[in-house]
């Protein structure tokens, strides 16, 4: 089963489980929204419709939060899982948020356009490191002047010992939050497709892709939000 098949199979229950499986949910997604919002507000102030590209958008969780924080944005959601995208469409339609969905692999060319923000959450860690670097280059090239890239991501620990601690802390927290043994087992099964990289490596790849002011804006164990802006 491919990673996108795995997510398609859980599209109906995906949203409901998120807060249990991401202990720092509000700060994690909230920081990504904070990072992406300024160029979107600037576009609105200049009389333009802000364009957002969401990579591995899934059911539209980050897109929905962004469109609530900055009403008036237009979203392009890319994902390889059609059932996840169908759920995103339902949720965005219900809120009358202008958007299009693109069923594609993250290794493919990005949908043409100049974006004020290219955003992603918990998706790029499914690519191998060469795939991540190539995607970061394409994302940087797709930014409008002043645009930002932000990735809210599951990351690897800088050492095997820290990576083990990340997992230990995560397991303890999600158990406290009420994740059931079945839910944890299913999550572990999906995680077999994970290829996380460290924050340090990914920030370096973003700088190599031409972004400036590259930084990690939030980190709590394995959950980190990092990005930069168009040079």
Ligand X SMILES: C[S@@+](CC[C@H](N)C(=O)[O-])C[C@H]1O[C@@H](n2cnc3c(N)ncnc32)[C@H](O)[C@@H]1O
Contact residues for ligand X, defined by CB under 6 A:
3-4, 7, 56-58, 61-62, 79-81, 84, 105-106, 121-123, 126-127
Collapsing DSSP states into helix, strand and coil, what is residue 57? Answer: coil
Q: What is the DSSP string of 103-127?
A: E--TTSPPPSS-EEEEEEES-GGGS
Q: What is the C-alpha separation between 150 and 117, in angstroms, rounded?
A: 8
CB of 99 vs ligand X, minimal distance in Å: 14
Considering beta carbons, is residue 141 or 191 the nearer one to ligand X? 191
The residue among 113 and 145 lying less far from ligand X, judged by its C-beta, is 113
Nearest approach, Cβ of 165 to ligand X (angstroms)?
22
Shortest distance (Å) from residue 28 CB to ligand X: 9
- What 3-state class would DSSP assign to 79? strand
The nearest distance, CB 122 to ligand X, in angstroms, is 4
Under a CB-based contact definition with an 8 Å cutoff, are residues 187 and 179 in contact?
A: yes
Closest separation in Å from C-beta 44 to ligand X: 24
53 vs 61 by CB, closer to ligand X: 61
- Closest to ligand X by CB, 40 vs 121, is 121
Residue nearest to ligand X (CB): 58
Q: Sheet of 51-55: strands edge to edge?
A: 99-103, 74-79, 51-55, 115-121, 143-154, 223-230, 211-220
Cβ atoms of 47 and 72 closer than 8 Å: no
Nearer to ligand X, 113 or 146 (CB): 113
């Amino acid at each position: 089963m491919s990673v996108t098949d795995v997510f398609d199979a859980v599209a109906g229950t995906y949203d409901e489980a998120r807060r249990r499986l991401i202990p720092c949910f509000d700060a994690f997604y909230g920081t990504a929204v904070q990072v992406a919002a300024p160029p979107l507000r600037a576009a609105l102030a200049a009389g333009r419709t802000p364009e957002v590209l969401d990579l591995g958008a899934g059911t539209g969780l980050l897109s929905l939060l962004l469109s609530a924080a900055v009403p008036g944005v237009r979203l392009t959601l890319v994902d390889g899982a059609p059932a996840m995208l169908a759920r995103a469409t339902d949720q965005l339609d219900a809120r009358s948020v202008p958007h299009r969905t693109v069923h594609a692999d993250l290794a493919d060319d990005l949908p043409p356009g100049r974006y004020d923000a290219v955003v992603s959450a918990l998706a790029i860690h499914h690519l191998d490191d060469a795939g991540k670097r190539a995607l970061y280059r394409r994302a940087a090239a797709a930014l409008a002047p002043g645009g930002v890239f932000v990735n809210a991501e599951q990351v690897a620990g800088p050492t095997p010992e820290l990576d083990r601690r990340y997992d230990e802390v995560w397991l303890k927290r999600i158990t406290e939050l009420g994740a059931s043994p079945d839910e944890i087992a299913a999550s572990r099964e999906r995680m077999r497709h994970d290829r996380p990289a460290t924050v340090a490596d990914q920030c370096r790849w973003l700088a190599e892709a031409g972004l400036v002011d590259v930084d990690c804006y939030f980190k709590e164990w394995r959950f980190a939000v990092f990005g930069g802006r168009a040079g």
